[in-house]
Structure 1
Amino acid sequence: MLQTNMLNAEQTRSPQTGPAYSDDAGSGGISELVNFALGLLRRQYLVIILTAVFALTSCIIYLRITPPTYTARVQVLLANPRAQFVQQQSILSEPAFDHNQIETQIQLLKSSALATSVITQLNLVNDPDFSGSGPSLSSLWRAASTWNSTLPQQSKASTPAGLSDAIITAFQDRLSANRIGMSSILEISFSSSNRERAAEIANAVAGAYIAEQLNAKFEANRSATSWLQDRLRDLGDQALNAERAVNQYKSQNNIVSPEGKSIDEQQVTELNNRLMAARAQLTEASARLNQYDAILRTNPANLSSMGTLDAVGSDVTSNPIINGLRQQYLELTRRESEYSARFGPNHQAVATLRNRLRDLRSSIFDEVRRLAENTRNDLEVAKQRQQQIEKQLAEAVVQSRTTNAAELTIRELENRAKGLRSLSDMFQQRYIGAKQQESFPISETRVVQPASPPQSKSKPKSKVILALGLIGGVGFGIMLGLFRELMDRVFRTSAQIEAELGLPCLALVPELVVPQSPLRRAKSRSNDGDPGQRTIAKDSAIHRAVVDRPLSRFAEAIRSIKLAIDLNATKTSNQVIGITSALPNEGKTTIAASLAQLIGHGGKSVIIVDCDLRNPSLSSSLAPNAAAGIIEVTNGSRSIEETVWRDPTTNLAFLPAVRRSDLLHSSELLSTDSMHKLFDRLRASYDYVIVDLPPLTPLVDVRATTQLVDHFILVVEWGQTKIDVVKHALHTAPTIHDSLIGTVLNKTDIKAMARYDSYLRDYYSEDHCARYGLSNSG
């Protein structure tokens, strides 16, 4: 919460308080984020350190109680190169290994059949890693899984080799197979608590896998040879029958050379090519004629810019006659412009040039008309040629259709005969290769690097676990610290007050701790015992801190409040000031008494009035022996002169409140006419009237004093007062909110402020206070 509000508050700062209003928005956001992170570390470093230490301790305990595991690795190469004659005669396809095939081989390595073979071969049934007698975590997990099974008899289900599923599962859990990069090499890993045993089992798995591949290949070759023999016999008969059908069809249809291309087909192809060329020529002539007609439909005078001729294309612009005329036209145009500028547009020479330009345009126009006539003739010739070719093509197509049926049939028969003969020859080669391969069996895999006993344990990895524990502990500590920050819904900075309440923070008042000596306390009590003097008790030294220690930071903060009152220009009068808070015990009484002492010590006449009628704590401190107070003055039983107490040092006047019994209607008493008259008299008699009011939340008495008090000051306790409580209190008392001069952040831990307000951390430095003789202590 705190940091969320602080980030919002930074946006409401003035340009002098931080970079929130920097021209560079990106750098300002980064600066705020960095300050937020540094502030979080400064405030929550203990939480982060304790969490990291706890995580490291947990990791160390885990490393101490977890038994070591050793992993042995063996590398197996797939697709072992074969002898050349074996590859040529192989009956099985041998594509390059892709991802799917590699994954298939990995699953075969992890299969239950292979695991059963190795367990039986090495007699691993009684091995501690698989029988569950060892203290490993995996054995405990398997035991728990077996205990939670809904069908206990299934955990003892036997495999064909008489092994339980639990042993096979334990073996498979310790076995892993992976592809090395993009190669055809598989790495088989096996983990065990014994390093020699791990290497032995890894090599056994690789040997069992190679033997299984060899046996599977041998069985596949034998089955393929038997099937090829039967299939070869059938294909030979089918190919012979197909060849006989071809010869018989040739005899029936008198086809001498059906494989050559017929004359009709050649003629149709040639006519198609000629027709395409004629259509292209016709299209070109038609387009050119349209362009010429577009020029002829225009006025010859529109050819002055020559843009129309250029738009026609290269046929016109490449004409030597038109080119020559254009050159003359451009030259005369240049001269006409030159003469017009020199002699004027109406000169005889200019007129002559214009006539010649007009003649040239007419000549160009006549040449274009001649080209259009030539193109029209070419178009007619192209149309006649296209019609003649189309007619010839239609006749050739009709003639070719009568001879296609027989040729299609003979082609189909020949293709079938050729396909059957080729298939028969291919199966013949495969059959010969299969017979040879039976006598030369070879596996596609081999061991590249056998497994050896590992020198170091594979898990648990001490460095990795400790690093993860440290990182996780720090990360969790940061999260825990951030959660504490978000839940810290209290006021800690002036920027928070300004952002949340929309009120200025008048001062940061440090926490005040004033020890009292027994001698002074006894002396003050003896003075207070004389009721005739009505002198303020001097044992309340906490209210005299501004007088006893005028060069303290506390006194300087009270001066800041007094200055804010004097400079307030919202109303004509700043004479009666009410001090209140949202909740009790926030220090409003101390602020009120200290402010009054400061004003009196400065030479002004001031009176402090205790209007907390239900809990007059200020009266108990300053005038514990008072017999009459503000209640007696308002009801007329005593005069104000008989009830006012004074401080001879500062000339401070104090009007106490004597609580004789529970007041049920204190708010009505504060709003009576006699109370108004009392305050009018105080205004006339004193320069300042400081009113100690009750808190806003538990009572409504403060709302009844809006007609008595000019302005209010709200006291907020640092690190204790909830933001939502203050906002609700001001929301329920809108008249008080409108009359507030500002707020005071009381009981502030100045040393801790640098951790919460990073922008103003230099403001809280003791060096600045010591430079001017101020004491940083309260």
Structure 2
Amino acid sequence: MLARLWERRRVFGVVFAATICLAVAALLVLPVRYLATASVIVAEQELGAGHSSPAWDQKIGDPADLESQLLVIRSPRLLRLVMNAPGVVDAVVRECGKGGLLGSSERCDRLKSDAGAFIDRVESRFSIASAGRSRVINISYQSSLPDVAQTLANALTEVFLDDQRDEGANSREVASSWLRKELKQLDEQLQAADDKIQKFRRSKGLMRGATAPISSERLTSISQQLAQAEAAKTEAAARLQEIKSEQARGPTDAPSVLASRSIADLKQQLTTVSAQLASAATMLGPKHPSMLALSREQALVQQRLTDEMQNIAASVQKTYDANDDAVRSLKMQLDAAKAEAGSATLDEASIESMVRDTEIKRQQYAELYKKASELETERRVLRGSTRLVSLAELPSKPFFPKKLPFLAAGITLAIIFGIGAALMADRLAPFARSGTPVAPAPETADVDTLDAKASAVESAERQAAAEVAAPAVQSAPVAQAVESARLPANPEPQPKLLPTIGDAPIVACLPRLKTLGQLSAVGAILQSHRALSIAQLLRLASEDAGFQGALHALVHELGIGSDGQTRRIAVTSAERGEGKTATLLALAEHLAAAGRRVLVVECDERSPAFEQVLGLRLGAGLRGVAAGAITLEDAVQRTDHPNFDVLPLGFAVLPLGFGGAPVPDLLAHSLAARLSGLSGYDAILIDTPLSGRPGEHLAGVDRVLLCVRGDRTGIEPAMAAIGQARALGAADVAIVVTMTEPERSCTGDAAPFATPNVYARAG
């Protein structure tokens, strides 16, 4: 890459200088823009809130909330409010008039009345973003006039703050109005409920006494009176029964009679009279007047006592009758009071329910009134959850373009464009880097001739080093090892001779395959960074006329089908990535398409690919043949093309004694012999690596093709691979150069390759 850039250094220099000039011109021509920035902080705790809710705690620092605030600031609604701010429209019109072209005055004047045009102009110049991981939002405006940038940035900031405050105040005003409306309705409902309760009490007579409703107090009083009346009735009945029971033997001993004072006095008189009568009877006769008077007095007292006792019995009977009547009356009153109290109880229950509802509404009224008072207080002291951090200052330094970053970007682009132009020029060059095609080589090339060419190489390199004032030693690719060597001006005509590496001739140069996406120079530059699968390479090879032409020349060089004999050709490589398998399969498809019967044999255990690329069924394959599990004829698989057969590597369980030996070792002395037994093929192509084990693995093959990439920087691996193939029994070794560039040639017009010591002396 560096060598190619050095050869196209003039193109690089021209493009680099042109890009730098354009960057400097743009730095001088581009209009200067100033940036003014104001800052606000969002999601702060509002004043007046006694404690924060969980929702507010989650809101603080939430990225979603910051994004929402950014979208609110960018909304057209706020930009329309900015348009109504004093001095904003005049500032934008002045900015438009300064940066406008001829005929743009009408467009600038339209900004005064057309809100859509105003928003379209200022929206792209606003830059709203959060400051890192903080809750600070920066509001910036770019303008060619510093005062306009300051005015617009501050206008949008103030509009946003006012909008946040108004939104919070409006929400609280709406909530407060709703609460006042609810309070009014609750007040009316409470008054109606109280009136309904009083009317119900009056209609039901549910007036309250000192401690309970009147009906309850009345029932209690009647119950007490009834108890007293029943007690008096019982007492009167007991006295009456006592008097009646004593009448037979004389009621004088009855307790109720003895309790009477009149009875006691009469009994005392009767005792006195009886005592006098007894005393007189001892001295007087029964007919004596004194005796008669005392007897009459005794009888009179006795009669009065009897009458008094009868009066007492009658009084007791009256008392009993009166108490009995009172008991009956009180029982009737008690029953009526009970019925009235029961009805009153139901009415009281209804009233209690009404009172309970009324109390709930009173509590709700109190809570709503308290909340309304709090909202009104918060509305009066509200400053919003967003507050100002700083207003925009008047910018003194331009924001764009900045000299150092602009020049650094220009230099970077100049380097990129210069490298791209140099590589594109190298790709599009019609000849090799030397600029002229290489003359054909003479028929014989001995060491003296090669030494002379090496001397020519050294002189040419010294001259090139003197021109650039710095020595540069580069290793030539395999396909260009002698491109810089110059032959005599008038060489004698010699027959064409294929170039060689050591004593192995180069029989073909296969060009690099390119996809349709690489038709551009950029696609060609990036080709080396995109690896294609073998299936893609085969498809591209079948569509590439140049590649098919190279294969046709290779078939002619190998003599396949010219004499009717089967050619056994082994394809190998010194290292991986040389295109060995792709070359073998492309050659096989070319032969099959040309009507030649071909068999491909897979012996590469490092990276087997036949089954996947050709879509073969899984079978024992060559491993089964080596293990003796299957014959060679049965291991061959047919493909969709009638002329194309495959002997894949396959799989097999090796019997005891074979260990883990690779397939080439198992078939070291029998592969060529066994393949010779397969008849009917014009060519048998063997895909095999160079085994590191000693043996005659390549003995019996007609030719060994060693694949070498055309962009290799040295021939030492190729020389070592040729020697290794000879040691493995190869009688004829030839070189196939793969992945060569279309403008380079490695056969025909190229000189023969020299030995490694000559290339070492030539640098």
TM class, shorter-chain normalised?
0.3 to 0.5
**Normalization by structure 2: what TM-score?**
0.36
As a proportion of its length, which structure holds more helix?
1
**Normalization by structure 1: what TM-score?**
0.36
Q: Could you say which structure has the larger radius of gyration?
A: 2
